[in-house]
Amino acid sequence: MPRVDDILKLLENGDWHDLEEIEKKIQLPNLYTASVTDFLAQYDFIRLDKERKKAKIDSSTQIFLKKIRRLEDEEQL
């Protein structure tokens, strides 16, 4: 599961990212990256452009992750 978290964290900025970029930064094989991004897209965590081979976080997921990060920061204080 940490790899899913890594992918979501990479996409958290809201920009489109090439799947190849994700593979390199997260150090994942192509097949694994495709499987994880397909799963995340299927459940609307991300948007996936298969033609352009790009992924982007869904806006509602982005908002949710920001809230979680903020709560985690508050707990550390």
Residue found under tokens 């809201």: 14
How high does pLDDT run on average in the chain? 91
Q: Any idea what the Cα angle at residue 43 is, between residues 41 and 44, rounded to 5°?
A: 60
Q: CA 44, CA 16: separation in Å to the nearest integer?
A: 15
The 10s digit of each residue's pLDDT in 14-48 is: 999 999 999 999 988 888 888 999 999 999 999 99
Residue 21's domain comprises 2-76
Give the mean pLDDT of 58-72: 93
> pTM for this structure?
0.84
Domain of 17: which CATH number?
1.10.10.10
Residue 40 identity (one-letter amino acid): L
The count of domains in the chain is: 1
